[in-house]
Copies of this chain bind each other. A is one copy, B any other.
Amino acid sequence: MDLKPTKPLSGFIELLPAQQRCFDFCAARMLDVLKTSGFNMLDLPAIERAEVLTDKDNWDEIETQMFLFQKGDTKMGLRYDGTVGLSRYVAGHLNDLTFPFRASQFSKRYRGERAQRGRYREFYQMDMDIMGVNSLSTNYDAEIISVIQRTLNSVSEFIGENAVRVGSRPFWDALFDYLEMNDNQKKDVFVLIDKKDKMGDADFAEGLRDTLNNESKENQIKSVFTNGYFDFLNKSDKLDAAVSELNEFMKTLELFGVKNAEIDLSITRGLAYYTGLVFEFKLLNHPELGTAAGGGRYADLTGKFSKTKIIGVGAAIGFSRIFVALMESGAIDLTQFESPVDVAVLCMGNENLSYAVSVLNALRDAKIPAVAYLDAEKKFKNQIEYADKIKTKFSVIVGESEKENQVVALKNMTTGEQQSLSVADAIKTVLGA
């Protein structure tokens, strides 16, 4: 019989144990910040009805982008983001939740497209959203940015410092109105702005020319990318309102203690549901990763599910994107994550197993991660080799004389130093190391 393949499918992440410990450690640190910040952790189904996932009904086209399947008459698929499930959940539980409702999700998402370098087909994002019924102060937008920064800062020893840039959808709306663009032009120019980074300046200029065919308008739009809102002060009430909202917001960010924040009107966060301020984080030491987190305000989260209007501000941290890339490039040092435990208990002979297990349980009860080499008839050489390979800090050796004297031989695996100690003293030494 042929052996089956052992590699995961392309685009799927599979970490080695030390990498996984680093991944989990960073996730736990960041989730602690979110829980301390009052976010309700949600763990929603990974599978949703197709009609929840998309408004499109071109099954073949959707199928190239998503993982879809049909059960009986029901078409369904794997979620591609956290927002689609959140909308359904919030709309379905309006009376169970207290608003402003704060939700966070740390979960796997799926993209059915062909795998590309750096783009995964299964990946974790860490979302946070604050939602209000009918209204929500923009102070919450500032808080979300502050919480993302605190979350990223909680693992700064691994990922370095971060910075946030803030854009404004209302500014662009006001500018398009001021330039008297029609609806099609607005839509097309917005697509161009969204793709500007990928297409480059020349193609962007050509796109503007194709769409607007008006040099003055084209230049005014281009000027935003060099001068920001500078050329658009006192041009229209709507423009002034957008600029003033943005400037006020930057002050609120300061008040929340947010560092490295600046206005960047080129940030628009795509064509999707954002309607207010938008923002993107990058990691200052790792520009190659692009956007580390992003989000913004939306005016209508649940419109497809409910007549109640839910306004919110939300963001997602590209968790797999950041941590898998930095571990693979070696930018994150995995030394501290190499061993699953601090102590290996080595048992010299089955007749000492009972004592060895009591030592093992005492270590674990003291919250010291520990394993025992339980094939007690194996030679000391094999057993200490195991401890060496799993890179424990200490070995605890238990033989006949240790059992008789109710002590253990505690060996420091780094220095090689070995001491005969009571179990209680061995625990103290390990905890103090």
Contact = CB atoms under 8 A, between A and B. Distances in A.
Contacts of A273: none
A371 interface: yes
Given A6-B91, A255-B354, A371 B38 contact: yes
A158 to B, nearest CB: 18
Contacts of A341: 38
Interface residues of A, number: 94
Among A13, A20, A38, A364, the most chain B Cβ lie within 10 Å of the Cβ of A38
A22 B229 CA distance: 49
A69 B67 contact: yes
A74 B38 CA distance: 43
A403 B425 CA distance: 51
A361 interface: yes
12 contacts: A3-B306, A3-B307, A4-B52, A5-B52, A13-B45, A17-B97, A20-B42, A20-B43, A36-B368, A38-B340, A47-B67, A47-B110
A71 B112 contact: yes
Interface in A2-22: 3-9, 12-17, 20-21
A139 B347 CA distance: 12
Interface in A384-423: 386, 389-390
Given A47-B122, A390-B98, A137 B4 contact: no
A38 B146 CA distance: 36
A14 B132 CA distance: 21
Interface in A233-271: 252, 255-257
Among A4, A16, A110, the most chain B Cβ lie within 10 Å of the Cβ of A4
B361 A89 contact: no
Contacts of A17: 40-42, 97
A171 to B, nearest CB: 23
A102 B49 contact: no
A255 B375 contact: no
B36 A364 contact: yes
B4 A36 contact: no
A367 interface: yes
Nearest to A385: B98
A379 to B, nearest CB: 14
B139 A353 contact: yes
A139 B102 CA distance: 48
B370 A36 contact: yes
A126 to B, nearest CB: 14
Interface string A110-122: 1010000000011
A93 B18 CA distance: 13
Nearest to A142: B374
A24 interface: yes
Interface string A326-353: 0000000000000011000000000001
B371 A37 contact: yes
Contacts of A29: none
A291 B112 CA distance: 36
